[in-house]
Each structure stands twice: as structure tokens, then as C-alpha cells.
Amino acid sequence: MTADELRARMQERAKERFAKHDKNGDGFLAKDEAGDKRWDRMKLADANGDDKLTFEELKEARQSGKLAARKHKKGKGGRRGAAEEPQR
């Protein structure tokens, strides 16, 4: 798989995850769809202050570093995030 193919696949999976959480299918994620804990972190991406997030707002927040990618915890899916420090 080429780097471009990998980036395209990652983008597609991100869109799929967004759609999965967009329970009412309106193209936005709101606090009631994300849950309190997740929303507290995600609301940093709300560029226009309308209390809902578009896929583009989340994408731009991640790219700018405003919203860091979530680290995976060992035991919650089996893989550890690349940025996670090894346990000692």
C-alpha cells in the first residue's frame, strides 16, 4: 500500500467513525451524541462556537494541533498508541 493509499484509507475510516457517532445523521456531532467526557475534549474543535462539530472542524483541529489525537490505552483494544510511553 502506498503512502497516498494509506492516507486515503485513514481519511475514509475517520469519516466512518464520525458517521457512526452522528446518531441523527445531520452531519454534526453534538454533546448528546459524543457524551460528556468526550465532548469536554472535542469542543476545542468548535471553530464557529455553535456547540456542534463538523467533520472538517475536527480534521482542522487535529491538523493544527488544537486537538491532539487520542492515545490508545493498552487493554482497551489491544494496541498502544505510537506516542504512548512504554510502561516500566
Residue 61 has a pLDDT of 95
Instruction: Report the 3 state secondary structure along 46-60.
Output: CCCCCCEECHHHHHH
Evaluate whether 8 touches 31 at the Cβ level (below 8 Å). Answer: no
Residue 39 has a pLDDT of 94
* Residue 61 grid cell: 483541529
How far from chain centre, in Å, is Cα 49? 18
What are the residue boundaries of the structural domains of the chain, listed by start?
A: 25-69
Encode pLDDT of 40-62 as tens digits: 999 999 999 999 999 999 999 99
Residue with cell 475534549: 41
The whole-chain average pLDDT of the chain stands at: 85
Q: How far is CA 26 from CA 4, 12, 22, 47, in A?
A: 29, 18, 7, 18
How far from chain centre, in Å, is Cα 5? 20
